[in-house]
Structure 1
Amino acid sequence: MPKLPEPMGPLAVSRLSRPGLHTVGGVPGLALQVLSSGGRTWILRVVIGNRRREMGLGGYPGVTLAMAREAAREARDLVRRGIDPIEAAKEAREALKVTPTVTYTFQAAAEAYIAAHEASWKNAKHRDQWTATLKNYAYPVMGKLDVAAIELPHVMRVLEPIWLKKTETAKRLRGRIEMVLDWAGARGFREGPNPARWRGHLDKLLAKPSKVHKIVHHRALPIDEISAFMIRLRDAEGVGARALEFAILTAARSGEVRGATWKEIDLDARLWTISAERMKAAREHRAPLSEAAVAVLKAMPRGRPDSYVFRAAHGGRLSDMTISAVLRRLDVDAVPHGFRSTFRDWVAERTAYPNEVAEMALAHAVGSKVEAAYRRGDLFEKRLAMMNDWAEFCSMNGEAL
């Protein structure tokens, strides 16, 4: 067996300058090749099968003597296990060319998620809320991070500062981060459990939202004050006052009233049909119109079928603030949406109408999915009778029906 040369040290290797192949010892077959141009590179000579092969290990001094010896040992270990280290290295390089590593920042993933899903959202406001919460709270912490690198500490850095102060915002933000990371996982940009998931994870680290955030209900007018208020409201001038009156008489949402067009109205049938696209529950809603509600509509100037019933001064849609301003001028401590609560309290406390009739009037989901599947009708006639009774109550000075 040939005697191995004495291993050279780093200083001796640095002095090698004569062109040719210089064995440095330490690992059989390891040599430093000095080129006539002055460049130097590491070469490992090995026997693979019955063939003598030379394997490049990188240039010197970028690859140090210690690094070259370690690489040489690893290559010889592959040979002992029957693996050609030269072919293995070639296959690894080819794999990188075929499947390049793609990285996605969290912000890029969030923007891609929004673009993919915004078509299913009801309005631009929802998109703006998504964008605003992520921009204000998530992006400063992890917007530029590779989405694959997002872990629990990053999520906690986003949520903890606002969890107790802005609980509702933080709760929605957590859900949005979770959905973005789920999207990234489904697209192959990250692996492993979602660090923003709530059940069995963040619920062990953060207080339950309902325990730290007191739900503030919409300010509503007491039942017995509604008729006196309606007298003042009918005396008030302006389109905003008429829109609020119509909203109260139909128990509709402000947005549904402000977006109402004449093509939705059938005065003869005393019917207001709101398309699914305009409804919160994404289902068409048929709202029966009491005689009082019809009277409000007949007092409005009739426009084209696609024009708004309650038009702003510039001819467009009324703003939400226009209706709210009516309540401020009348010095009433309530919000437009609160009158839906007043109506619901009236049904429960002053009438014998069933719960499902009131819930349908409010365009709420009724019962379980099974119950809804069997209930094909919308109880229109019963709801029409109820809305007539509601209109009468609003003019009775608080007397019970």
Structure 2
Amino acid sequence: MTLATDLAIRKWKPAKDGEAIGTGGRTGLYVRGWRSGAKAFYFRAKTWIKLGDYPDTSLALARELSTVAKRLAREGFGVEALRRGFANANTATELEAVVRGEVLAGLACTGATNAPTYHELWSEWYEGRKLKLQEGPSRRRPEAIHLHHIKPVLGDRPITDIRRREIFALLEPLFRDKPVTAGHALGHIQAVFERAANKELIEADPTPRKSAFSDAVARREVKHHGTLAPDRMPELWQWLATTDASDTAKLAILTAMTTGHRIGVIVHAEWAHINDASGVWTVPARTDRSTPGRMKSGREYALRLPEALLERLKALRTDPDKQYVFESPTTTGPITPNAIRKTLKRFDPDLTAHGFRNAIKGWCRAATPPVPDHIADAFCDHSLRGLDAAYRRGDTSAERAELAARLYDFVTGVKA
């Protein structure tokens, strides 16, 4: 049964309150009736949206409105936008203008909505997210991306009004110029709209998939951390001896080449974590996201230092009350990673401390005898994969200590 004519609607007597009958066609238009005699046109888009009461709203107008509404729904406009459009429009042209947020002469529509803005939902998401991120760049990055790239465009917009085409227009040039930043931004936007969907503020996530930006992203050479050929590590150590760098900086670099630790772990090394008797340096497990100097994995990591390296480090301890192994020679607290970077740049402008980890992996494969990959990965605290993750679960402390001793001898020239 359909109510395809004005006469059919007038004669129809619903069997129950709220009964809905289609009007024919595939526009999503229905008539709903009540036993009191009241009737109204409704558009069905995952939920019922009222167009207007019958006969104040004619069948012809209702069909025009529903036809436009169905097209807008296919474009990604949500229930709230359509509901606002039906409430403020008298013609199909006005409906489209209201839903799209345009202003027509003579149409009084403020576009007001009770839906939260993108910035409000982003703030809710970030408040819960930031405590899971390590304090520092990892925690600052989402906020910086939001403030510099997303908030100026979407921040003040109601979450229900933001369309896929707008997100695409925002991110396409960013993918072209800063693809890494754009990838992060896309992930943040997806998280915000997922939150909106979970709160039933929107019916569907309008965020484009990453593949939609493939044409905007030029094929680029991946830029890795500046590294050093393994056989140049002794050269670097010899060069350091000729510079005016502090003993603290020199030994921090030597420790990086010997242990493979990230520079953030090294500069925050504490005497309390080094056992004088055994020579084992234990980096505690991460218990929060604020304490610096922990492993990226968050795991506890213990390594027995070569005796000769430990003796060099003890020579730095002129004050037994000092907390850090690598105290800054000019300020209170540990030497900064930037001080180490500046010293390395004098040797090679492209070199970074992180690059030592790659140099160590290369040295392990070329050494005689070679160091197995799973030991080199454990040494660098990499997460094992595949069969290694399943079967390489034994204690590698002895092998890692031996590797540190071999690296120390190689770098300092004790052994070729």
Deviation at 1:393, TM superposition (A): 1.3
Q: CA deviation at 1:193?
A: 3.1
Give the Cα separation in 1 of the matches to 2:395 and 2:242. Answer: 34
User: 1:297-312 counterparts in 2 under 5 A?
Assistant: 297-301=313-317, 307-312=323-328
Counterpart amino acid of residue 398 in structure 2: E
Query: Is residue 2:184 matched to residue 1:175?
Result: no
TM-aligned CA deviation for residue 129 of structure 1: 0.7
- In the alignment, the residues of structure 1 paired with residue 194 and residue 319 of structure 2 have an alpha-carbon distance, to the nearest angstrom, of 48
Q: Which amino acid aligns with 2:193?
A: L
How far 1:235 moved relative to its partner? 4.8
- Please state whether the residue corresponding to 1:276 is helix, strand or coil: coil
1:232 and 1:360 mapped to 2: Cα distance?
Answer: 30
Whole-Å separation in 2 of the counterparts to 1:263 and 1:374: 33
Matched, 1:295 2:311: yes
Alignment match, 1:203:
211
Residue 341 of structure 1 pairs with residue 323 of structure 2:
no
Between 311-320 and 115-124, report the one with greater CA deviation: 311-320
1:73 counterpart (34, 37, 55):
55
Secondary structure at 2:278 match in 1: coil
Give per-residue Cα distances to partners, 1:197-221, cap 9 Å, x unaligned: x3xxx41443496x62321111222
Query: Contact 2:194–2:205 (CA<8 Å) still a contact in 1?
Result: no
Give the 3 Å change call, closer, same or farther, for CA 300–142 of structure 1 in structure 2: same
Supply the distance in 1 between the matched residues of 2:169 and 2:123 (Cα, whole angstroms). Answer: 21
The residue type paired with residue 247 of structure 1 is: A
1:5 counterpart residue number: none
SS in 2 for 1:272: strand
Deviation at 1:358, TM superposition (A): 0.3
Paired residue for 1:42?
A: none
C-alpha contact (below 8 Å) 1:260/1:308 kept by paired residues: yes
Shift of 1:387: 1.1
In the TM superposition, what are the counterparts of 1:39-78 in structure 2 within 5 Å?
A: 71=53, 73=55
1:92-241 counterparts in 2 under 5 A?
A: 102-196=114-208, 198=209, 202-207=210-215, 212-236=219-243, 237-238=245-246, 239-241=248-250
**Residues 381, 187 of structure 1: alpha-carbon distance in 2 compared, 3 angstrom cutoff:** same
Once the two structures are superposed, what CA deviation does each residue of 1:101-134 show, in whole Å capped at 9, x if it has no partner?
8521111111111111111111132221111111
2:277 corresponding residue in structure 1: 268
- 8 Å CA contact retained: 1:226, 1:398: no
Larger radius of gyration: 1
Instruction: Say which SS state the counterpart of residue 164 (structure 1) adopts.
Output: helix
- The answer on whether the counterparts of 1:246 and 1:296 sit within 8 Å (CA) in structure 2 is no
Which structure 1 segments of 5+ residues have no match? 1-47, 54-69, 78-100
Contact persistence 1:308–1:317 (CA under 8 A): yes
Distance in 2, Cα, partners of 1:365 & 1:142: 38
1:95 is matched with: none
SS at match of 1:212: coil
CA contact (8 A) 2:256 2:263 kept: yes
Local SS of the residue matching 2:223: coil
Q: Which residue of 2 aligns with 1:316?
A: 333
With the length of structure 1 as denominator, give the TM-score of the two structures: 0.69
TM-score, normalization: structure 2? 0.66
CA–CA separation in structure 1 for the residues paired with 2:320 and 2:393: 33
1:158 CA drift (Å): 1.7
Alignment root-mean-square deviation, CA: 2.9
Structure 1 residues 220-273: Cα deviation after superposition (integer angstroms, max 9, x where no partner): 221222212212224544122221221111111000111111111113222111
- Give 1:88's aligned residue: none
CA distance in 2 between partners of 1:103 and 1:305 (Å): 57
Equivalent residue number for residue 280 of structure 1: 296
AA aligned to 2:115 is T
How many residues are treated as equivalent by the alignment? Answer: 305
- In 2, Cα distance between the equivalents of 1:212 and 1:305? 54
* CA 49–384 in structure 1, closer or farther in 2 if over 3 Å, else same: closer
Is the CA contact (8 Å cut-off) linking 2:374 and 2:388 kept in structure 1? no
Q: Decide which of 350, 367, 378 is 2:385's aligned counterpart.
A: 367
Query: Is 1:262–1:303's contact at 8 Å kept on the other side of the alignment?
Result: no
In structure 2, the residue matched to 1:356 is 374
Letter in 1 for 2:317: P
